[in-house]
């Protein structure tokens, strides 16, 4: 499978203009110049149409403009470390890191799985810090490859290491049992970032949680009727209508925008148990 990102799709400490339209255009030109899109202008238009639905700026100086486009022939990531920073609509200011996620209109599941892995990595502070510290395009490519296609750890002698045995621990009683549905219009990035933030934060708070995503690959990790019935609370982190919503008839639902779940998952989870 061709790589999602190569060195010719990376621009470091680059002046790509002062607004998101110019940044998107320049990144789209990188994708087209690498032979991965037939028309940079068409790709730019599709990305900006997605931007019009909801801003793709994230807290911490990150932007992830993205789309599915008929102009894209090969799923691609174009990355820029911006100088100057550019406003992509994040609540805490402009972005200095921008990933253009360009997926074919009818992308295959393997590539979409890799894009999902990147989206989940972008909510991890250590990964973001490594992007800022990278000194070359080659290093950026390596960092991205490590999160989208992690290599198994090798044991002495070249064998793949077995997972270490689980450490015994005192039993803990989770405070709540939660089920979550996450979905955004494109289903490439925000869907999975919201799922990652809610899952990570809920587990840190001692809750049991199961998350269903409704993204570019359809419904993944579908919640069973038993999961839904057993849950103390149902959370929808969505910007579109939930598929098969009637599964949740009769349940009290906390519904928030996807960006809210990404930006402040603790505040979302704090709503558990509050009066409707």
Instruction: Give the residue numbers annotated as catalytic, written as ranges.
Output: 184
Residue among 274, 192, 180, 273 nearest 228 (CA):
180
Distance CA 23, CA 81 (A): 11
Residue among 274, 113, 124 nearest 197 (CA):
124
Distance CA 201, CA 213 (A): 17
Omega before 84 within 30 of 0, i.e. cis: yes
Looking at the DSSP bridge assignments, the partners of residue 116 are: none
Helices (H), the chain: 20-33, 40-53, 109-121, 125-133, 137-148, 190-204, 225-230, 258-263, 265-270
φ, ψ (nearest 5 deg) of residue 197:
-65, -45
φ, ψ (nearest 5 deg) of residue 268:
-65, -50
Distance CA 155, CA 137 (A): 30
Residue among 81, 96, 103 nearest 14 (CA):
81
């Amino acid at each position: 499978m061709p790589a999602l990102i190569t060195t010719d799709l990376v621009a470091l400490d680059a002046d790509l203009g002062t607004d998101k339209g110019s940044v998107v255009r320049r990144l789209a030109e990188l994708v087209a110049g690498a032979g991965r899109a037939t028309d940079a202008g068409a790709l730019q238009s599709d990305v900006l149409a997605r931007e019009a639905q909801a801003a793709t700026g994230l807290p911490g100086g990150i932007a992830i403009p993205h789309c599915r486009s008929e102009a894209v022939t090969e799923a691609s990531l174009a990355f820029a470390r911006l100088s100057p920073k550019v406003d992509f609509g994040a609540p805490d200011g402009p972005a200095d890191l921008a990933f253009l996620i360009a997926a074919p209109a009818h992308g295959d599941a393997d590539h979409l799985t890799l894009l999902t892995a990147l989206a989940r990595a972008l909510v991890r502070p250590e990964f973001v810090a490594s992007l800022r510290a990278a000194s070359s395009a080659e290093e950026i490519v390596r960092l991205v490859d490590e999160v989208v296609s992690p290599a198994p750890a090798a044991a002495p002698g070249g064998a793949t290491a077995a997972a270490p045995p689980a450490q015994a621990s005192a039993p803990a009683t989770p405070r709540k049992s939660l089920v979550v549905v996450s979905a955004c219009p494109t289903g490439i990035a925000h869907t999975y970032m919201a799922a990652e933030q809610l899952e990570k934060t809920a587990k840190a708070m001692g809750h049991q949680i199961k998350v269903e995503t409704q993204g570019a690959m359809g419904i993944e990790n579908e919640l069973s009727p038993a999961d839904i019935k057993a849950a103390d609370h149902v959370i929808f982190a969505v910007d579109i209508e939930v598929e098969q919503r009637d599964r949740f008839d009769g349940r009290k639902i906390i519904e928030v925008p996807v960006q809210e779940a990404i930006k402040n998952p603790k505040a979302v989870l704090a709503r558990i148990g509050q009066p409707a």
